[in-house]
Amino acid sequence: MTFQDVVSMIAGLCVFMFGMHTLSASLEKFAGGRIEDLLNKMTSNPIKGVALGAAVTALIQSSAATTVMMVGFVNSGLLKLSQAISVIMGANIGTTATAWLMSLSSLAGNDVSGIMNILNFNTVITVIALIGIILAMFTKSDRKKTVGNILMGFALLMFGLNMMSAASEKLKDVPEFTQFMTMFSNPILGVIAGAVLTAVLQSSSVSIGILQSVASQTGTITYKIALPILLGQNIGSCVTALISSIGANKAAKRVAIVHLYFNVIGTVVFLGLFYLITAFIDMPIVNEQINAVGIAVIHSLFNILATALFLPFTKQLEKLACLTIRDSKDDEAKMPILDKRLLNTPAVAIEECKNVAYKMAELTHKTLLSAIDLVGNYDSKTAAEIVENENTIDIYEDKIGSYILQVASKDLSVNDGQAVSNLLHTIGDLERISDHAVNITEAAEEMHDKKIKFSKAAENEMAVMTAALKEILDMSLRAFLNNDVALAKEVEPLEDVIDGLRTELKNRHVERLKTGKCTIELGFILQDLLTNYERVSDHCSNIAVCLIQIKENSLDTHEYINELKKLDKSEFMDEFNDYRSKYTLPERR
């Protein structure tokens, strides 16, 4: 084997790894946040969890990515350890799809008669690569570009595998290599070699691909040698999750430990059974040469049988992980809002941002309603909770904003980019609404401390304003939570009505002030309340308009609102008049 052959093998490995990365990243981008939705909806049942883990891993071509996602979900409190275990087992099954995919390379060069002589493996892969390049470079659709990247990733993976196979073919003529491979007839050395190779490459798919290419071309690897190496590669795949769990909470660390225990115990059990059976039963196949398909078969059988064996004992695996990583009395129940491990899967990270932003919206809704209720019915305990909630909402904005900026630096689809933009704008408005909630609380506290209250007429008028404010708040947040553009379009007419109510209430206060029915002191408080109410409605409008803008690819907010009123003037005025009739102030007294 010449130096050029070594260079060719390394080049093939580089192309192969780049192809694997491109394929995995593009598949993940294509799937988007649907991965996260499925993981959250289907983990209550262990069998569904296994099926889901297998499907997701086969889709994104990486058991490590799925396991790291599980670490992130458990760390952020979105999943329990018991839910994650079945998904991890399924991920081990799903990763076998890669070995089957790579075994297709064994077809290369096997021409058959007729049309199949033209459509041999290399020709098909070339066509796939060509289609991928056309879609990626010459189409405008983001989705088509992603499909093109998927096809190119697959083609690169196969080209790299063929390059490695061609370069490793000459290894069969190297006596030292043959002697080296016979060392792995010792199962312990085989397991260690497989684990170390996978740990270094950070990918069981890549290490299995190398094993497949060497086995297919050299003819020096038997079933007996390949089995412990394959099982060791499964153990080595745990390293990525173990590394990702550093700095995580104990529940997340247990996810990585469960993954390790599953593969280690499975390896011990199945190697023990294999050598026990071969000690009493003569099985000539174990000394026969193995090829790429044989490796894929062993890889699949081990992971399927291991899952079938351990699935009934998920609770025991969970207990074992808890015994390994014990809780202590001094542990602080601090849960990070978002997990940086999910940044490796941007679509999933965005979905988690949405989930946390939804919690922020719900807390904002609760906080403002509590503040409004304090006007005329003050309670110091509730006031303290409002201030505490506002501080929490500030933390939400800071954490989500910082996290979103990190997500935005990734390669995002058009839809994901829109989601990022919407979140960045909305969390700012939510935080400002919570600030106004504190301002309203302070006004209520001043009224309580000074033992003053509005006149009956002012109370009735404020009740109308308050009802309108509660509706616009509820409507805008429901539109945000449900991504409901139709509902969002109903917000702006009500916001105009609230603007009108504010103006009318100020005028009525001035009249009462002139007749001595109201005091200047109460007037200042009323002015503060009206200003805060009106500004809350402005932020509700911003939330709704931002949602509409992003869906309709509009830009400037004020320009958009003006265009909305011009283009849909009839519909807008109908809704405006309906709200104005609904929120009519009582007759002046």
State the CATH number of the domain containing residue 526.
Answer: 1.20.58.220
Q: Are 406 and 337 in contact (CB under 8 A)?
A: no
One pLDDT digit (tens) per residue for the chain, 589 residues? 567 767 776 787 787 677 766 766 676 666 555 555 556 666 667 888 888 888 877 766 667 667 767 776 776 666 778 888 888 888 888 888 877 876 765 544 444 334 434 445 567 678 888 998 898 888 877 778 888 888 888 788 667 766 765 665 555 555 555 555 556 667 888 888 888 877 776 667 777 777 777 777 666 778 888 888 888 888 888 877 787 677 666 777 888 888 889 889 989 998 888 888 888 887 787 788 888 888 888 888 888 998 888 888 888 888 888 888 876 654 444 444 677 777 777 877 888 888 889 889 999 999 999 999 998 889 999 999 999 999 889 888 888 888 888 888 877 777 778 788 888 889 999 999 999 999 999 999 988 888 888 888 888 888 999 999 999 999 999 999 888 888 988 898 999 999 999 988 888 877 777 676 667 777 788 889 999 999 999 999 999 988 887 776 654 555 555 555 555 566 778 888 888 898 888 876 5
My answer on whether 437 and 459 are in the same domain is: no
The reply to whether 427 falls in a domain is: yes
Examine residue 335 and state whether it is found in any structural domain, yes or no.
no
Of 423, 451, 479, the residue at which a domain comes to its end is 451
Place of tokens 């190398």: 210
| Domain identity same for 65 and 205 | yes
Same domain as 456, residue 442: no
Question: Same domain for 379 and 392?
Answer: yes
Which pLDDT does position 562 carry in this prediction?
59
Q: Say if residue 56 is in the same domain as residue 115.
A: yes
CB 490 within 8 A of CB 575: yes
Secondary structure (3-state) at 416: helix
Number of domains the chain is built from: 3
**Residues 132 and 152 occupy one common structural domain:** yes
Do 204 and 247 share a domain, yes or no? yes
What is the residue range of 380's domain? 345-451
- Identify the burial level of 140 via C-beta atoms within 10 angstroms of its C-beta, where 0-12 means exposed, 13-18 middle and 19 or more buried: exposed
Domain boundary pick from 451, 467, 489: 451
Structure confidence at residue 431 (pLDDT): 93
DSSP three-state, residue 282: coil
Single pTM value for the model: 0.57
Whether 354 and 426 share a structural domain: yes
Residue 417 lies in a domain: yes
Same domain for 446 and 511: no
Q: Looking at the structure, do residues 352 and 230 belong to the same domain, yes or no?
A: no
pLDDT on residue 553: 61
Task: Report the C-alpha gap between 48 and 68 in whole angstroms.
Answer: 19
Question: Is the CB of residue 194 less than 8 Å from the CB of residue 229?
Answer: yes
Could you tell me if residue 411 is inside a domain? yes
The angle that helices 223-236 and 250-280 make with each other, rounded to 10 degrees, is 170
Please list, in sequence order, all residues whose beta carbon lies within 8 angstroms of the beta carbon of residue 60, skipping any fewer than 6 positions away: 24, 27, 28, 31, 35, 66, 345
Q: Which of 259, 291, 324 is the last residue of a domain?
A: 324
Structure confidence at residue 40 (pLDDT): 60
Q: How far is CA 477 from CA 34, 425, 493, 496, in A?
A: 23, 13, 16, 18
Same domain for 196 and 256:
yes
Any domain includes 299? yes
Q: Distance between CA 45 and CA 42 in Å, rounded?
A: 7
Whether 436 and 460 map to the same domain: the answer is no
Q: Helix, strand or coil for residue 564?
A: helix
Domain contains 87: yes
Tokens of 24: 């995995």
